Every structure is written in structure tokens, then in C-alpha cells.
Structure 1
């Protein structure tokens, strides 16, 4: 930040700290407020809607100032992070009352879009991933992906298109990369993510490997399968460096790293993720596949469901193991209900463990930890026949220790109320008794001294000068014990103090502060002890999340009448009475979804060309096929009567229209980019779903592109393909290519009205009924009637037959320039007469100039 203001000692301190985090917004703790200054203040004022003022700096100069109460940080700070700002939280590192001179301050945490433990920043059903990308030679790169709040850590490397696909699937909140890789990064990702560029040395392989080995507490990385993945290891090391830079150093829960192999998971590119609406609907108020399948009972299960949808399995056996568990739960409703009851009480065990490891857990979360582990033990006993449950660790000792040390309903933090249970610390119990029963204790002393001295009028009182004292009327002075110390003489009485009263005074006056100190110490000791169980608790959380996800699958299967798919390594996809899992849940009550059969293989029916009118359901049929296959391969039952699914390695969809104007890409360009991505990445085990290819350009161009693409798909490795189109000319391809079959989505025309039957039947069709759809949309009748006449004339022109009634109407101008225009005819005649092969460049330019003059 530019120093353009006069500096007081406080501002000098501010600037010195700000210089360490120049690209972060600094929340500077000053007493009971977090203050921002200068440019930061102007940003904070705008984003948070707080007042912007000015602070005098001991001279005529002033500095912009905006602040908010420190206790409101959980409300304000997330707004800044969500807006894309990095927020450095600068705290007072010593008690202001004990400080000599200016209070010592320092940044205790740098919160970024991808690095945070704060509940108000994190989405409880979504992971908050930080990714690092290390670009290499030959079009390759490594990637590391971490959720610091849960400890999930992944790494992989490969070609850039694979890395781009992984990033799209995980959708990180923030990406870090080398400054020198800026051009490569922008070319691959553009401006799709929040980013931060690190100095190149942060991506040094040697130091990265050392950091990773130290973090995972191992001698080598062989056990994790990443030893030889230089680019991935470099990226992982950069992630750990970035955590250090953001002042996140307590990372005991990051104790493993998982290798992501391209041959283990289905490739679903970002276009298909969007087109299939896997996580977010394309239209406002819509529903995604995740919305339909998510019946999870705890946040961990919801996050795991999203990961499974991002990374469907390719191993038929492992998929079958998930289906086996769903089957057991589906056939045992009592078990399912008992699991749901316990899962609901588990809470976000995963993130609580992360906070324990980081030393950021509060007392209420520790109580929730004990509750979660108790319910986890119940789940293990309920699921004795399910293999996943065996990974649930026995952490009864942790539950018992928490129960003994922490109150059942503790305050949020020490100093805000009681948190430690009774009989944990004798001094704490005594201080509480003194603090809460002070008057009773004084009365005990008073009564005891009356009995001991015989002075019946003796009384104990307090003032701010002498503290606690015993007052004795002059008539009883001779009964005062010798060990009492006279402090004040009054007209009719004397005031005394005793050692017991002085000791009590120190205790009662310092009781509250001392109670806070003791409780904070005991709680901190408990957290350190709990950190020894982080690995086991994390394993337990992962198992619970998996059981919750499979239980969700069982609930959805029961509610929506799904069937268990038969998985195989064949090339057959055979779906009987398949339905769209999202659309069927959105239909009006009583309106059934019309199911359809789909059969694909690589030998006989590799490519299905589907024609039919608008609104007949072609796009829905394509999407439902992709979703059924994807659901099957994540381990879920599917919306069909029967389904035999030969495992696919990649799912590609080109459905719907969109543009990317900010990057200068038209709708047609986006369509071609997505189509090129498909053709360049397919294999013989892929599933390809294409809708209306070529519609963004002229008819003949579109038909040509569509025809060529279908030919390409037929000639290359036999990717199973469904191709929906209005280009009826493509029906001819069935006669020329052995593995292409024509289908259409049938309709019935009754009294000039179209009834959509939404049933896929064999054979092509030449009717699109676009004008009928226009009428249904509310197009003016005059436009609809005229469109019908234009259509009829065009069809007659194509066949050479002209309708007399239509011919009497005003001619239809089919181009910007009438071809009968004399000027145009003259130019055509000249061009036709040219001998292009023997025309010199000078002659060509002269002829062009001549034509230009004719056009005026």
C-alpha cells in the first residue's frame, strides 16, 4: 500500500504488517474493533456496507477508516471472502493492560476463497477445495487438490485436457500456480476460478517432496503411489507451502494423499457436467441430479455424494459392491430408519476433526464430537454385515474423556460461561464456589467468628478502599483476637482485617479471570490429547460418509421406483423403460413420465439417429440415457424397469445452446468447441450424446458438419452414440453405414393439432412441427398462418410444384439480394465467362474493380 499519510506509532505498526500481506485486505484489531485503513477501508465500506470515515494521524493528514466490532467478524469476514478478497486477520498478541507501549500485533490467519475453517465461509454440503497446478513439458501438468477443512488430499498428473477435466470435476474455490506459468494457465482456464500466483521457487520439486514426506510422516511417497509423479508432487508441495503462507500450520488431519488415476474413473468433461445439470440447474428454479439423489442425513454424506458424481467408477466389481449395500438397505427398512436416526446425530464429524487437528475447535464442537462418535459406534453395530462399517474405529475412550472433562452444554468459549465439568480441578471448583456463593461464604466466616469471639454484633462488609473487613462496636473491643489487624477507627466502632479475609478477597476478586485461565488451560490440554485420535476419527468419518451416501441411494431408489442395474465389461447398454430422474420428479401430480427403451452396442447398433418434432422429448431422452449410465456407475440404482450397463469410460454430451460472449465465442463456436473436444477424446468405451449439431450455421453447412461427424464416429473406435437432429437428410445414413439405425420420437396429428407421444420408435421421420410449437408458445396467429404458407411454398419449390394460391401472394424474398436483379444477372454472366485457370493476378484485380463499379 502506498504510504501517503503521516504516521503515528499505530499506523507505523499497521503499515509494517500490511507490507507482509500487500494483496490481502487487513483486518487490524484495535481494542474491541477490527479496523481497515486506506484502500482496504474503501473496499470494506463498499462490500460490507459499513461507514467510511477518516482518522487524524497527528497532523493535518487523514487516512480513510472503516471498522466493525470484533465479535461480528464471523458475519463480516465471509462477505469479503465470498467477494473474492483474501482477508488477513491481525490480532493483539498480548494483553493491552500489561503491554508497555504499543500493543504487539500479528496476523494469525489469512483467509482465502480456498483456505478456511470458518463455518460461515464454508458450504456444509460442498467441499472447499484449494488446487495447485504445476505445468511441465510436452503439454503435461500435475495437480494437487486439498480441502483443508476436512483433510482430503488428492494428486494426479497427465495431459492438459485431463488436468482441465479434473479441475472442472472438483471445482476448486481457489487455484495457485507459478507466476511464470500465467500464460499457460490463462490459455487452459481463462478466468473461471479465483487464483493466486506464487513465486516460482514455491514449486521446487526437492523442497516440495520434503514438505510432503514430513507432512505425511513417512520415509518415501511410494505407499501413496505418487513417488514417481514429479509434477503432482511439486503441486502438492506448493499446496503445503501456501498453507504455511496463509498461517495454517496445525495440519495433523492431513495424513494421507490419494492418487487419482484416469483409468479408475469416468471422464465427464465440464461441458457434460453443465449440460447434464449434475450439480446446478441451468435455469433458475430448476433441479439438478444432485438435488434428486441427495437424501443424505449428514454433511459428510452430502459432500461424498458430490465426489462420487464427479468421479463415477469404471470397475464393475467395485460398482457392484456399492449396489450390494444399497440392496441390503433397500430390503431392510428398519435398519435404514435406525441408520438415519443415528446419521442425523453424527453432524459434521469430518470438519470437527479438522478443527481439532488445527487447534481451532470450540467446546460445543467437542461435545458434538463425542455425540458423533457415540452414534458412529451405534452405526457400526447396526451395520455389522456391511464391509464399510468395519472401518469405524472404537473411540469409546475419547467419548468418555470428553464426558468427564466438558460440561454437557458448555459455553462457546472460555470466559463466556462455564465449559469444564466439576471434579476435574479442585482449584476451579473452589473458585466457582467462591464466585457463585460468595455471600454464603462470607456469612460462614461471620458466623464462625461470632461464635469464636462472642461478639454478637460483629459483621463483615466491603468497600473499595479497604476491601473486605470486620466491623466491631467499641463496646466489644476487648474481645477482639490479637491476630486481627486494625485498619480504620470510627466514632463508635473499629474495622479490622484478617489473613483469611485477605486471602478470600484475592480469590473472589480474581476468581472470574482465574476461572477463565484454568478452563482455557484444561480445554487446551484436552484438545492436544484429542489430536492423538485424529487419524482414527478421520477414518471413521469417511466410513460414516460412505454409509450415509449409500443409505441415500436406498431411500431414493425406494421413493422413485429405481431398479438395480446389471453391470458388465461388455459394450452393451440396454435400458428397458428408462426415465429421466429429474424430470419425472417435476411433473404435475398424476402425470406419468413416458418411459423409453434404449439399446446400444459397438457391433450392430452403435449409432442411433433420432429425428422428430420440437418438444417431443429428444433432448430429454439423450440426457436420461447419460444420467442412467452415470447413476449406475456411482453405485446408485437407476430409473428404469431393467438396465444392463456395459461400463463406459467417458460420457460426452453436446446438448442445448449457449455462448461465451466475454471470450468472443458465439453459440455456434461454443458448439463446435464442445464437439471438437468430444471427437478428439472418444474411445471405443465412450458414450456420446449429441443434440442438434450444426444448427447454428446455414442449413447446408449444418447438414455437412453433422453428416461428417456421424461418419467420423462410425469409422473411429465404436463409441456408443445417440444423435438427435432435425436434419432429416441424415436418415439416409442408415442405408450407407452398417451400425447406424434410425429412430424417431413419435407424435400424432389430430385435427391439425400435434399430440406428443414421447415414445421412441424405429424409423426416421421428416416432420419437425416447428410451426405447431410456435403456435403453442403464443405466437400471433397472423405470423403462424404466414409461416405455414411460406413453408408450403418452400416445400413446393424443392419438389418443383408450385401451389397456385400461394403463388398469387407477394413473392418471398429468400436472400438479401433478389437474384433476378439485372445488375446481379450481368455480374453473374461476366463471372461465368471468366477462364479462372488462365487469369493473371492483374487481370483478376481489374475484373474485380470493374464489378465493384457496376455495383456502384
Structure 2
């Protein structure tokens, strides 16, 4: 920082303030502009595409400078926030008229990606979360808040993996860590998740915020305190709209990781990271912004308790049954604004008069919503909307206050008047009368002066610089009685004058206008403060209306797409889905015919081993099962003709290949890592989706891993599993694993063309049709012909060497040849016998050869392994 003598007092003030906010763009208020200086100016000029100039242009000590108009500042702030930066707003905090020397300025708010409250940087369709993290003995404690709605929650997570999954599911924009703590985690969050990391000053918490720490476990309290300290530090005002702290346990909801979220395209599309083509996109028929946000929360956290799921199912079903009433409900919801964020703006002190009118309009819909629900909900024990009806608080005090006080179409500004209704305040009415009569008096003066001077085009005008004036054209100046008129301004074609009468009237009118505007602003602040007292009631109402909106959205989607209510049996292990469909694929295909498929697991079956060619629909089949589970446990109906399901606790999916080259992990390493996470965390109540496990390494390595994984899931976990593979040899596992069943997706060749049937049926596929799929992709015919020849050679060689692996009856023990067993092979006769066995073509011949050598085996796979060892050892003897 430069020495004080090198800068003006104003720049010294700027530098002193900037010193406290080194990681933020400092927007320094000067008149009608916010100015940025030094490096802030250079960087902002580049990011915001604004002009970079300099202060003290004639001096050797020029200061880089860039500025934006105060009335347009929000747009520039939004752009910086969206890019992940912070902005410190520095305002004048004293009246320049009263200042002795330099006007005092202070930072009044720091806006960050996690604390932004308004503007384009806030997406109405999703929450804007700021989180704080602490850790103790391997457990992570997470507290997070959405300042735009006041939502405040905390939880404990057992591992870093669980923490990262929760952060990604919440789509957290900024994380607060204690200075010097969790450095490795900070690296992961910044470099791989692109989350802004912030560190608060470890000061004392405002007493008003201390109440949020009461009755909370110490470890959770530490995370919450860290979060509130940062909110206090950045917002610099009372935060009255925070909701009661909700302590929750993630394991009380259906758990799925980021790879499941990504592979199933629940929220973001794999193609362009947009909402289109996702399950959320399909389900979102909500009419309010808060309903849209709640729908996403339900999707991110499906339920586990059967009673909670059935309650939602009952409500969705009632809405499906009552089509016309639901249409009226949707119409009323269309007039409800974003109550959550309106309430937050009111409590935060940023709401304008139009926001209050939106609040009033929303409250006017509540009686209609209650009446419609009463018609839809039934009577007595069947009254499924009773709790919702009771929570529909009309908050009449607020509606009536706004009705009495605020005009129907107020301006955006709250400081320039025209927002308070006549009759609300007597003093204001007096000012309005003076202003109204003043205009009448001006017209009377204008008519009187025209008559007195004989100048018919004489007119009275007004501007902010000169006030009121009488304007006379130059051609009529000779008619004017100079002694009564005082010259005020000379124009090219006219002169402007003032009279004693006009001066007196001007004083009255301007005083009334000035006092009227000041009083209106004061009254508006009082009205807003009064509404603020109803924050908790309004927030509860907002959540209730959002719930209604989500339920009608699920009902609409279920009805339009002919979904059915699933039967959920927590104690059962049965899965029975008849003619199930992938909800999004079915919707996108539109006129194309989607082929539905059954999914069946009896009580004993835990694994369906799926074979079939690429592009035949194996992955779609797997995904539709997982999506059906998620929809069911959200409380929605599901795309099928019939569905009977257990309640799952976790979903794991390894579908597709995602390289992580930056982290130094290959596709196969990612595959194995994700598989390990599933195997380590899954229970018998989980759902596993494994697509082509083992394909990223050598054939035998991959096949061995795939078989071992299947056996481990079957023997040790017992989770319901869909396992697709091109290792057709694995289908023999059905003969010795009681809980495994083979299914396949069919395809046929007609006139050299491959036709996918997209139908999943019991049994195994005979081949993978890889060359035919390559032909569909348009590879050159010459190449395809050569591939067919090579394939024939490989298959012939495999038939000779591989000993009919699919007919394996028992598990291979991968027996090793001992020296004792090798010794009898030293004779020429035995060696010749072994060499002959290398050319055998059937399993029986090989087994007979090994029996002759007095070597026992339990399976063809073991026989193949032993023959390979024998050949190596005999070659070594030679």
C-alpha cells in the first residue's frame, strides 16, 4: 500500500477500507457512481467489459479507475457473483451537508455466491446454499443456510465421502471453514467441486443469533456458530428471517451418491448440464418458484418410512381423482408469488412496494386453496389434506394492512412517493392536497398572466435546476411589464422569468412534495416493519403452499403419463414391476413406440444378470428400475402397469465410464473405486446397478473381477442387483448361485441387418453382435469384413482353448500344480499325453486327460488354469 502522502484524503479513505476486504471487489460510492480502483478496476474492466480509466491523469501517480452507475449496479454485481467473486458495497454513512471534512463511508454489506439475496445471480428454481463444515474424530458436521428463504439445517456425516455427496446434492455455492482447518478438504472443494471457500473473522456472535445454538449438540453447534459468524460478518444487519434450526439425519432418507445423480440424470443432463431431459424436468409441473425448489428437495431426499410415503401417495391419488378441482387449484397457484423470498426480502429490509402487492395478491388466494382442498380431501378419517388445510394461515392482518396502505400499481422506487393510498395518513393527505391544489393554482396563474399580458402562448414550466418559471418567446417580450418579472434564464428563442407570486407558490409546492416523499418513505418503512413481525407465520404458509404445488405437479405427471400407485412392502424382498418404463426416455420418444419391460425378483433372487448386444436397452432397463424406486419413495406414482416394491435404503450405480484424468485416475480406476464404494456401503436393503464391470482391463482380469463381485454381492450382501455384461461365460453362474437369474435383451438379424427387440426376457443372449453394432455406426465395410474374419478366428481358437466355460458346474478354486503332481509327468509317455491334450476340443477330453495324469479338478475353469501351469512348468524343464 502506498504512503498516505502519495494520495488524496479520499484515496486514503478508500485504501483504509479496502485493506479490510482484500478478497472482494470494493464498490466505493461516489455520487451517482460506484467506483473501483487499482487492481479491482483493472480486473473489473476485463470481467465486466467496462471502461478502464484513471484518476489524477495529469499526475505521475495515476490510479486505475473504473465505475458503474448506481442505478444499474445490481447487474454488474450479479455477473461477478456468477463468476464466483465477492463484492463489498461501500456507502456514505453520513449526510454530506453535515460532514466536517471527508464524508464518512463504510462497507454496509458483503455479497458473496452463498449470501446473494437478489438479482440474476439467484435462480428461482433452486436454493442458494451457504454451508459451514467442522470435523472431529472422523465425523463431519455440516450446517447450511439459504438466506433467500431463511432455511437453516444441520447434520452429522460419518465420512468425507458422505459429506461431499451431501454438498453436491445441495449444490452448495460457498463453504465456510475455520481458518487453518480442514486444508485437504478445502483443496478438494476448490479444485474439484469449484466451490468458493471463505474464512470468517472469529469474533463474538450477536446475542440475537445465539438463540439458534440452544439445545444443540456441541459438535453441531460449532458448525452452526461458524456459519452464523460468517452471515453476521457479511450481512452487517439483524437477520430476523432465519427459520428454526432443523437437525436431520441423512440416513433417514434414501441415499444415493453423485455418480447415481449423474448417471440417472436426475437434476442435470449429461449432455449439456441443463435441466432438459432430466427426471426433475419431467416432474416439474409446479406453478410457484417455491414449489419448484421443494420438488427438487423431495427428489434429492426420497423417504424411507412407509407411513410418510403412503401419506403422500394418498394426497397425490386424491388430486388425480379430482381433475376439475385440481384445475381450479392450479389456477389459484398461478397467482401466488414466491412467498419464501418475498418474506426474506421484507425481513432483510430490501422489499419494495411492488413486493408487498405481490404478497397481498398471494394471500388473497389462500381462502380459495383451502376451499378446493376441502372439496378434494374427503371426510373423517379419509380427509387426507387435513394437516395442510390447518396450516393454510391467511395471515389476514398482513393482507388488510397492505390493502389499506399501498396503491395497486406502485413504482419501483420507495423514496420518490406515489406508493401510499389516500386516507391512510392524515398528514400525508394534507401534503397531497397542497400538491394537488398547487397544480390548480399554477393553471390559474398561467391563465391570469396570459390575460394580463395578452401573450396567448405564455406558459409556466418546471425543471429541477431552476424550479418553476414563466416562459415567454422573444417575439412577445415587448408586451411584458418588466417591473413585475424577474429574469431567471435566457434561451435561444425565449426568456424565462419568475414573479413574487410564483416564488411563494413554488415554495409551498416543493415543500409539500419534499415532505410528502419523506413521509411516504417513513410510512412504508413502518408498514414493512409491521409485516416483518409475521415472518414465521408467512414462512410456514409458504412451505404449505409449496407442498400443495408439488403434490399437484406429481398428480399431473402421474395422470398424463398413466403411472400407477406402487405397492410398498418394507419387510418383503419381492420386486414385481409389470410393463415398466423409463419415464424420461418414454416422454422424449413421443410418437416412437417405447417397449415396456417387466422386472421380477422373488424372495430368494438378489441378482439379475443381463446379457445382450450394445444399444439393445440394457442400461435403460437398469436406469428405469432405479428411477421407479426414486419416484415411489418420493410419494409419486410410477411408470408401469403394476409395481410392487420393497423400500430401499441406498442406491449405487456404476453405469458408463467417467475418466478423472486430473486426479490421475483412469476409467478403470474410477470404475473400481465406485464399485468398492458400493460394496463397502450397501446393505441387503440396497439397490445396485452394475453395468459392464471389468471391461476396462484385460479380458481374463475383467471376467475374474466380475465373477468375484457377483459372488460377493450374492454371498455377503444380498442387495437387489442388476448386473449387465458381455462376458457371456458368467451366465453359467445361475447353475450354482441360487439367488441369480439370467435375463437378456433380444436382437435378431434379418437380411444382414441387426434389429433390436428391446425386450428383456429370461435366459441368456447367444452373442453380443459387436460387429453388427459397428455397422450401424457406419464403419467402413472393408474394415467390418476384416473384423468378421478376425472374430471367426478368435471364436475358433477360443472353442479349442477355453473348454466350454459356460457349462461350468462349480466354483473354481484356482488350484496350483504342486511339485508332487508335476513329478509323474517326467516320463515321455506322460509328456506326450499332455501335449496331445493341448489340441483337444471338448471339455470331456480335457478332463479325461487330467484324470489320466492323476490330477483332480472341480471345474473346467480350474482345468484350463492347471493346463496353463503345466505347459509353463514343462517348458521350463525343457
Give the structure-2-normalised TM-score: 0.82
The alpha carbon displacement at 1:97 in A equals: 4.9
The alpha carbon displacement at 1:717 in A equals: 2.9
The alpha carbon displacement at 1:436 in A equals: 4.8
Structure 2 counterparts to residues 793-808 of structure 1, below 5 A: 793-800=793-800
The alpha carbon displacement at 1:71 in A equals: 1.2
- Are 1:254 and 2:251 matched, yes or no? no
Secondary structure in 2 matching 1:175: strand
In the alignment, the residues of structure 2 paired with residue 194 and residue 94 of structure 1 have an alpha-carbon distance, to the nearest angstrom, of 37
The residue number in structure 1 matching 2:267 is 279
The residue number in structure 1 matching 2:775 is 775
- Structure 1 residues 209, 414: closer, same or farther in 2, change over 3 A? closer
In the alignment, the residues of structure 1 paired with residue 125 and residue 740 of structure 2 have an alpha-carbon distance, to the nearest angstrom, of 43
In the alignment, the residues of structure 2 paired with residue 627 and residue 251 of structure 1 have an alpha-carbon distance, to the nearest angstrom, of 40
- Structure 1 residues 748, 574: closer, same or farther in 2, change over 3 A? same
The alpha carbon displacement at 1:429 in A equals: 2.9
- Are 1:584 and 2:583 matched, yes or no? no
The alpha carbon displacement at 1:751 in A equals: 2.3
The residue number in structure 1 matching 2:414 is 414
- For 1:269, which of 229, 246, 257 is the aligned residue? 257
Deviation readout 1:153-204 (Å, 9 max, x if unpaired): 11101312332222221111111112322334147645304232426847xx
Structure 2 counterparts to residues 176-187 of structure 1, below 5 A: 176-186=176-186
- Structure 1 residues 21, 186: closer, same or farther in 2, change over 3 A? closer
The residue number in structure 2 matching 1:20 is 20
The residue number in structure 2 matching 1:153 is 152
Structure 2 counterparts to residues 160-559 of structure 1, below 5 A: 160=159, 161-186=161-186, 189=189, 190-198=191-199, 201=202, 213-215=210-212, 220-221=214-215, 227-228=216-217, 230-284=218-272, 287-384=277-374, 385=377, 386=385, 387-416=387-416, 418-442=418-442, 504-559=505-560
Deviation readout 1:209-248 (Å, 9 max, x if unpaired): 97754248xxx32xxxxx23x2222111111111111125
CA contact (8 A) 2:352 2:414 kept: no
Secondary structure in 1 matching 2:29: strand
CA contact (8 A) 1:5 1:61 kept: no
CA contact (8 A) 1:468 1:497 kept: no
Aligned length: 768
- Structure 1 residues 749, 5: closer, same or farther in 2, change over 3 A? farther
CA contact (8 A) 2:202 2:229 kept: no
Secondary structure in 2 matching 1:246: helix
In the alignment, the residues of structure 2 paired with residue 834 and residue 246 of structure 1 have an alpha-carbon distance, to the nearest angstrom, of 79
- Structure 1 residues 54, 468: closer, same or farther in 2, change over 3 A? closer
- Structure 1 residues 707, 3: closer, same or farther in 2, change over 3 A? farther
The alpha carbon displacement at 1:319 in A equals: 0.5
In the alignment, the residues of structure 1 paired with residue 3 and residue 564 of structure 2 have an alpha-carbon distance, to the nearest angstrom, of 68
The alpha carbon displacement at 1:377 in A equals: 2.9
CA contact (8 A) 2:212 2:245 kept: no
CA contact (8 A) 1:56 1:62 kept: yes
Secondary structure in 1 matching 2:181: helix
Give the structure-1-normalised TM-score: 0.84
In the alignment, the residues of structure 2 paired with residue 288 and residue 148 of structure 1 have an alpha-carbon distance, to the nearest angstrom, of 27
Secondary structure in 2 matching 1:716: helix
Deviation readout 1:819-843 (Å, 9 max, x if unpaired): xxxxxxxxx99996499xxxxxxxx
CA RMSD of aligned residues (A): 3.2
In the alignment, the residues of structure 1 paired with residue 101 and residue 719 of structure 2 have an alpha-carbon distance, to the nearest angstrom, of 74
- Are 1:29 and 2:19 matched, yes or no? no
In the alignment, the residues of structure 2 paired with residue 145 and residue 281 of structure 1 have an alpha-carbon distance, to the nearest angstrom, of 26
The alpha carbon displacement at 1:645 in A equals: 1.6
Which deviates further from its counterpart, 333-342 or 745-754? 745-754
The residue number in structure 2 matching 1:626 is 626
- Structure 1 residues 27, 496: closer, same or farther in 2, change over 3 A? closer
- Structure 1 residues 776, 462: closer, same or farther in 2, change over 3 A? closer
Secondary structure in 1 matching 2:132: strand
The alpha carbon displacement at 1:340 in A equals: 0.7
Structure 2 counterparts to residues 695-844 of structure 1, below 5 A: 695-800=695-800, 833=876
In the alignment, the residues of structure 2 paired with residue 447 and residue 529 of structure 1 have an alpha-carbon distance, to the nearest angstrom, of 47
- Gap regions ≥5 residues in structure 1: 222-226, 450-455, 470-485, 490-494, 803-827, 836-856
The residue number in structure 1 matching 2:475 is none
The alpha carbon displacement at 1:295 in A equals: 0.5
In the alignment, the residues of structure 1 paired with residue 133 and residue 388 of structure 2 have an alpha-carbon distance, to the nearest angstrom, of 33
In the alignment, the residues of structure 1 paired with residue 66 and residue 679 of structure 2 have an alpha-carbon distance, to the nearest angstrom, of 55
Which deviates further from its counterpart, 95-104 or 714-723? 95-104
Secondary structure in 2 matching 1:733: helix
- Structure 1 residues 617, 466: closer, same or farther in 2, change over 3 A? closer
Secondary structure in 2 matching 1:759: strand
Deviation readout 1:100-126 (Å, 9 max, x if unpaired): 432222212211111111131100101
Deviation readout 1:343-397 (Å, 9 max, x if unpaired): 1110111100011111111110110000111113321222123132321113122
CA contact (8 A) 2:78 2:119 kept: no
